[in-house]
Structure 1
Amino acid sequence: MTETAARGSDFAELARQINEAGLLRRRPGYYALRISANVVALGAGVAAFVMLGDSWWQLVTAAYVAIVLTQFAFIGHDAGHRQILGSRRGNDLIGHIHGALTGISYGWWVSKHNRHHANPNHEDADPDIDIPALAFSAEQAGSKRGVLRWIVKYQAFLFLPLLMTQAVMLRAGSINAMVRRELKSVAFEVALLTVHFAAYFTALFLVLSPGKAVLFIVVHQAVMGVYLGCSFAPNHKGMPIIAAGQKVDFLRKQVLTSRNISGGRWVDFLLGGLNHQIEHHLFPSMPRTNLRRAQPLVRAYCARHGIPYTQCSMRASYAWVLRHLHEVGGPLRRNERLVPLNEQA
């Protein structure tokens, strides 16, 4: 057997173990409880918004609703991976409802996220590392020009402010996909997001004075952006980048480019299960609540096959990300010329 064939069989053996352990079975009861809890939490936020009226305390409500809607976004993520129900239609229905509640196009996000899963940290194929205001490799840093080049120089210091725009950028990406008609059900998704934004802005400007309404929007979008960014950033940022043309088998591609976050079930809740990033990337349709049970199997399997398995604390993961961003921007701060690959002879 060739080395390539042997490596190709590595994942099949792990998948067999996971399947025999029953970890790929759907858990609709778990998701029914999670969705119900989210609905109750959102209802409490809406009730507080109505009762408080035109008050500065609404800025607390804005932050609270941002956190709750991020939990809704996690459910939309799971629906996009077919984790909740056995049928595609049922998962898509849940996903579209949650997309409408969060103001993010479900169809656009699923397409983007699937490309990320197929090629995590791949320079030419992963949309999650193709971010204009950030660079994750020397090649990307060298390609920046103008204001973006200045931002990349100090990107580690600007990372948190940039995260505050994440929720807005997701909505902008959704609208752009609709304008470009890149969605399968454009009219349906336009209708959903139109209802979302109409209800959102109408409620704010009916209940609050214009100044408070604007501040509510700023706080809501900034907190949601930071929460989303802090949930996704630790998973791959700072991990190995796969260069264009580099061939890596599925098991190693997913494990080597991903990082797990250690912690108890409170971390599972806080990060929507994304703290088990390695297991999630290997088995994206595995229900969130099963990922913790799959971890010891996957970690032991990687150890037997000599595959580095990365896990660290939440605090260490953020330090890792910031250190990597600072190092990538270093040559620009020192005025070294970085030549993008497409300009090299």
Structure 2
Amino acid sequence: MKFEDKHAGNGSLLEEGQQYLGEKYQANGKPVANGRGEVSVKQEANGKCGMPRKSLNVYSWQEIQKHNQEADQWLVINRKVYDVTGWANRHPGGSQVLNHCAGEDATDIFRAMHQDLDLVKLYLKPLLIGELSPEEPSQERNKSPQLVEDFQELRRTLEAMNMFSVNPVFFFLLFTQILILETLALLMVWHFGSGWLVTVFISLLLAISQVQCFFLQHDFGHLCVFTKSKWNHLMQKIVMSHFKGLSTSWWNYRHSQHHVKTNIYPKDPDVDMGALFVLGELQPVKFGKKKIRYINYEKQHLYFYMVGLPLLTPVYFNLASMQMMYLRRYWADIAWVSSFYIRHFITFGPFYGIFGTILLIYFVKFLESPWVTLVTQMSHVPMKMNKEENQDWLSTQVLATCNVEQSFFNDWFTGHQNFQIEHHLFPIMPRHNYHKVAPLVRSLCAQHGLQYVKKPLLEAFGDIARALKKSAALWMDAYYETGSRVSTSTHM
């Protein structure tokens, strides 16, 4: 079956991100005049733009959804169908990201994760195999067209407000903060020596620096702060690998999956804690029914405080990073991470020796770990975790994330990860703009009956343990077959 479209199909990818439809808003939320004509997806599909091109195969959603296996992966982006099977292993975000979205409409996911559409267009051209049949909706039939349209309208509004524009001074000041902390630590040991009290102060300064490095590399991992992305990648390697001693490839591989399929088990690696914890409602029942008991999950909220908080960074992050670098032969990452240890041996080795410097490094990571763990887990562990339901982008992210109240301290302490809803909806938006877009996001959620969760910082910390206790109760009911809390709907 062929369908003759009359405009350049390969250009539609860019057009989707550049069109501004409907009413626009200023930063204060007031409407402003729309400067561009309205171009709908239906017009695009029916060829009303007047530019000739060759005919394309057309497909139904039923046919597209069959191509959802690792060896057969199709995606729909802006009504165009792409076969990404052969490209998956070369995808910069990792093959798993594409595999997780195979057989689905990935328009909003694609737009959320990619900054340079001109560059990505070049990669997509040879992968184009067709388009949706004109009678097919732009999204799968289980999604609300109005909700999807309203979210895409919000994104165009935010683009018109320049909310995706980076303020380089903001990130320069963040990086300067790290340099000051590192310099103070060096000056203290050079001036006062390596006494235990000095060592404690040095460790605290370095731990604060490590946390701020973690937040800043997270920004560089998402943003194109400078004019060319290679500078952004270089800055992430400097901050993550040289200052923190972790692999950027490992982090980006995991974090891309987390953003694309947030809190979806087992696609999001952050909700698969292996033998240590059971999370959400589905995984505990699965483990319980199969009589899986690696630890006493009834006490997992206590294990979280005793094991999870102090050991996430010095043990789990470091082992996972080293494992990936070694197994996949990431030589560049190995060199960058080695520079972290070499720098410490040069600067602190004369005072502590080799063994003492290693102890200092991991004592700092031990101090850093509770801070990073609480901040990264508070917005996801207490929220909905489910198997794949292929919901729209807005619903998926809002149900799986929550915000923490804004204050100067909360913003700094969390690295602006107290705005997780906005960050997950718009990962490439610089964090200094989150508070500006939050009212518009909250308004859209209210319009569609989605709960926009915001809570105090300490309550968010406490909700981690409360969620773990709730999951433990589900595991116990399934394990001991009491049936008091388990229903057939929770089976995976």
TM-score (norm 2): 0.64
Over 3 Å counting, the alpha-carbon distance change for 1:321 and 1:230 in structure 2 is: same
Matches within 5 A, 1:231-270: 231-244=375-388, 246-270=389-413
SS in 2 for 1:242: coil
Structure 2 unaligned spans of 5+? 1-136
d(CA) in 2 for partners of 1:59, 1:143: 42
Q: Pick from 148, 160, 168 the counterpart of residue 305 of structure 2.
A: 160
State the shift of 1:198 in Å.
3.0
Q: Corresponding residue for 1:90?
A: 231
AA aligned to 1:252 is S
d(CA) in 2 for partners of 1:153, 1:214: 36
RMSD of aligned Cα (Å) = 2.5
The 8 Å contact of residues 83 and 288 in structure 1, kept in 2 or not, is answered as no
d(CA) in 2 for partners of 1:295, 1:66: 30
State the shift of 1:218 in Å.
4.6
The 8 Å contact of residues 55 and 208 in structure 1, kept in 2 or not, is answered as no
Q: Corresponding residue for 1:316?
A: 459
State the shift of 1:84 in Å.
2.3
SS in 2 for 1:164: helix
The 8 Å contact of residues 83 and 286 in structure 1, kept in 2 or not, is answered as no
The 8 Å contact of residues 10 and 251 in structure 1, kept in 2 or not, is answered as no
Structure 1 unaligned spans of 5+? none
Q: Pick from 175, 195, 199 the counterpart of residue 343 of structure 2.
A: 199
AA aligned to 2:232 is N
Q: Corresponding residue for 2:260?
A: 118
Over 3 Å counting, the alpha-carbon distance change for 1:201 and 1:135 in structure 2 is: farther
d(CA) in 1 for partners of 2:277, 2:462: 17
Greater mean deviation of Cα atoms: 158-167 or 330-339: 330-339
Aligned positions, number? 337
d(CA) in 2 for partners of 1:301, 1:140: 31
Q: Corresponding residue for 1:178?
A: 325
State the shift of 1:204 in Å.
4.6
Provide Cα deviations, 1:138-174, integer angstroms capped at 9, x if missing partner: 4433538887332x32121121231211112212111
Q: Pick from 189, 207, 211 the counterpart of residue 70 of structure 1.
A: 211
SS in 2 for 1:124: coil
Matched, 1:134 2:304: no
SS in 2 for 1:278: helix
Matches within 5 A, 1:255-334: 255-332=398-475
Q: Corresponding residue for 2:202?
A: 61
State the shift of 1:269 in Å.
1.0
Tell me which protein shows more strand as a share of its residues.
2
SS in 1 for 2:378: helix
Q: Corresponding residue for 2:373?
A: 229
Q: Corresponding residue for 2:294?
A: 148
Greater mean deviation of Cα atoms: 318-327 or 194-203: 194-203
d(CA) in 2 for partners of 1:225, 1:320: 18
Q: Corresponding residue for 1:52?
A: 192
Provide Cα deviations, 1:59-106, integer angstroms capped at 9, x if missing partner: 232122111111012111000001523422111011010122101111
State the shift of 1:221 in Å.
1.6
Greater mean deviation of Cα atoms: 16-25 or 266-275: 16-25
Q: Corresponding residue for 2:44?
A: none
Rg comparison, structure with higher value? 2
State the shift of 1:202 in Å.
5.7
Q: Which has the higher contact order (CA 8 A, sep 6+)?
A: 1
